[in-house]
Structure 1
Amino acid sequence: MSDFDSVIERYLAIWNETDPVARRAAIGETFAEGVRYVDPLAAVEGRDALDAVIGAAQQQFAGLVFSSGGPVDAHHDQARFTWHLGRPGEEPLVVGFDVAERDAEGRIFQVLGFIDHAPTH
């Protein structure tokens, strides 16, 4: 397991953290202050804005869990990885693909997200 694997594990754990105080603390440890997060549904900058996006996603997808969709492919300070969103033990409802870049301190400063599969209704 590379050090980027553990960064992505923390990244997915943050998306699953429902305690706002714990989630905000984890965001502070994992993401750079001016983090830029862009996916088809959001484009935000900063830890507070990212926290708000994650909180909104948790409300919208209550009861669903983010998990790894396969190995992390990383080189230098960038990684690409697939994630799943669904009920544990079931087929994922949503499959996505993200690219994350980290800074010299090892914090994620940019995430570019894509949705590969989502329900059509």
Structure 2
Amino acid sequence: MTTTPDTDRTETPTAALVADYLQAWNATEPQARRALIERVFAADVRYVDPLADVSGTDALDALVAGVQAQFPGMRFSGVGEVDAHHDVCRFRWGLGPEGAEPLVIGFDVATVASDGRITAVHGFLDRVPG
């Protein structure tokens, strides 16, 4: 995912973490994706949504690769603002062709450790085609 810095606003550490999170889901080159996953997520991360329940960065990496294979050419993007308090953040995301209306809209709640990495994600699907 390519991002352009917005010089008119200051990005919070949590918003930057979510941007990196989405970048990890968009990184199709395996080594780049793995580096992002290791930077963003704790080694023992747990990711749960209606379609998946995985633990650890190896399993998360495999899940992301599987989603990319299922939705080739699609990109994850942020939808709206990131909301955070204490060690928890929530954010909406879209999945669709780059520059087009997202086909899938989801909502994730993440727990962030003191080292700034995500330890848990609880995902929800708000809009799914079909």
Q: TM-score range by the shorter chain?
A: over 0.9
- RMSD between aligned residues: 0.6
Q: What is the alpha-carbon distance in structure 2 between the residues aligned to residue 86 and residue 25 of structure 1?
A: 24
Secondary structure (helix, strand or coil) at the match of 1:28 reads helix
User: Which structure 2 segments of 5+ residues have no match?
Assistant: 1-10
Pair 1:2 & 2:12 matched: yes
In structure 1, the partner of 2:122 is 112
1:48-90 CA deviation, whole Å, 9 max, x = no partner?
A: 0000000000000001000001100011111000000001221
> Partner amino acid for 1:96?
G
Q: Which amino acid aligns with 2:80?
A: G
The CA deviation at 1:29 is: 1.1
The normalised TM-score by structure 2 is 0.90
Aligned residue among 17, 28, 37 for 2:38: 28
2:74 pairs with one of 42, 59, 64:
64
| Structure 1 stretches of 4+ moved >4 Å | none
What is the rounded CA distance, in whole Å, between the counterparts of 2:43 and 2:118 in structure 1? 9
Q: Which runs of 5+ in 1 are unaligned?
A: none
Normalising by structure 1, report the TM-score. 0.97
Identity rate, percent = 53
